[in-house]
Structure 1
């Protein structure tokens, strides 16, 4: 039962009286609600370093962006993957509808999920995405039920620096 009376303890119990500020060092990045007065489409959000934004993009080999999405700093990478991929439209030289699917995707560990890998398989797109250590350990812990590791080519993955260079050029 919550009442309007003040708590009788010297420190307070957190249910009564005025609201307390979050403790120092406590992460506020997990909040799902945007700042008051800040529209969701502005791409500003709280992360560990304060107000920040994230740039999600698909870049071609010439360091040119094919699609770009700006989100709040606390937004995860994996949920934005399909939105970035759906925004790709490369015009064809001889006319016709633009090409919307790449042949291969090079992505970092943040995009290593079962859902993304299955989406890529459904669209017949080859993937070069490293597997994080925790996913790898979980698969190994399951033994023969863990399945085969996803294919990964270190030599091809070296070309992922193109996306990082593209972001630096945009900044």
Structure 2
């Protein structure tokens, strides 16, 4: 079954979990969300990396506020991602796939901190409206996600 262009534009498509959306999220080390993009379920992660990084507010992209490291899973192993990080002097903590050479920058201790973003996604799924995607348009769905992010951030800062 083909996915219509209108559905893809609204972030809907086939994935392992069924007909849904895929959230691409970046957060800081404390679990405070910095940026998000939403795509159709069948879109893979590496294709959204630069859009995701561009969704971070410019103030946080400045050299003074730039992170030292970026942790990601094996899906983010791509030459252009490593080059993008290197241009900005950001270290990568991305494990290589089994069939590739070892990443010299990989640090298991830093990689364990990646669970912060997984916990953030778990907190986001506590909002039923987001977990089940009641919204038809991408704009209204993103608005609800950002409201949820604000609530999570306020809880985190306390």
TM-score, normalised to structure 1, is 0.64
Aligned to 1:121, the other structure's residue is in SS state helix
What's the counterpart of residue 170 of structure 1?
124
What's the counterpart of residue 93 of structure 2?
128
What's the counterpart of residue 98 of structure 1?
59
> 1-side partners of 2:114 and 2:16: how far apart?
26
The reply to whether residue 50 of structure 1 matches residue 18 of structure 2 is yes
After superposing on structure 2, the runs of 4+ consecutive aligned residues of structure 1 that deviate more than 4 Å are none
Q: In structure 1, which of residues 81, 105, 111 is the aligned counterpart of residue 49 of structure 2? A: 81
The CA RMSD measured in Å over matched residues stands at: 2.0
Q: In structure 1, which of residues 116, 119, 122 is the aligned counterpart of residue 81 of structure 2? A: 116
Q: CA deviation at 1:133?
A: 0.5
What's the counterpart of residue 68 of structure 1?
36
What's the counterpart of residue 23 of structure 1?
none
What's the counterpart of residue 6 of structure 1?
none
**Equivalences, count:** 121
TM-score, normalised to structure 2, is 0.69
> 2-side partners of 1:83 and 1:66: how far apart?
13
> 1-side partners of 2:25 and 2:5: how far apart?
27
Which protein has the larger Cα radius of gyration, Structure 1 or Structure 2? 1
Q: Deviations over 1:140-164 (max 9, x none)?
A: xxxxxxxx74321001111000010
Q: CA deviation at 1:40?
A: 2.8
Q: CA deviation at 1:169?
A: 0.9
Q: Deviations over 1:76-102 (max 9, x none)?
A: 11010011111112xxxxxxx612143
> 1-side partners of 2:77 and 2:104: how far apart?
10
> 2-side partners of 1:115 and 1:39: how far apart?
28
What's the counterpart of residue 38 of structure 1?
6
Higher RCO (CA < 8 A, seq sep 6+): 2
In terms of fraction of residues, the more helix-rich structure is 2
> 2-side partners of 1:104 and 1:37: how far apart?
36
Specify whether residues 88 and 102 from structure 1 end up closer, same or farther in structure 2 by C-alpha distance, changes over 3 A only: farther
